Amino acid sequence: MEVPARFRSYPCADYFGSQLLAQGVWSEAEQLWLIVSAEDVVERVEDGFLVIGRPGVDGIEFGYRRDCYGVWAYYPIEARYELLAADTQALVDGWFSGTIKV
């Protein structure tokens, strides 16, 4: 799937380019979509964040920041971002192996 024109300022080609990722990734342990399907991504224009998933705690979201490398976690309680992985597949792999946590 090609990156939609409105999302091209986000470095998200890995997400839209992978059929598996663009279909979403279910986490059995958390009982939620760790990565949502491409039709369910949300762009927060006001802060330049493209939300592609969540861990299911404290309102934390996973996504891409406009014009920034990698996949980030947004912590709304602290209003801060943290770089988690180089791309979505690395986030998924790290999450399931336990090397990435929030």
Give the mean pLDDT of 6-30.
94
Pair 90, 71: CB distance under 8 Å: yes
- Report which residue type is found at 52: I
pLDDT band at 60 (very low <50, low <70, confident <90, very high): very high
Q: What is the pLDDT of residues 78-90, one digit of tens each?
A: 999 999 999 999 9
Residues 6+ away with beta carbon under 8 Å from 59: 76, 77
Does residue 2 or residue 52 have the better pLDDT? 52
Mean pLDDT of the chain: 95
pLDDT at 20: 85
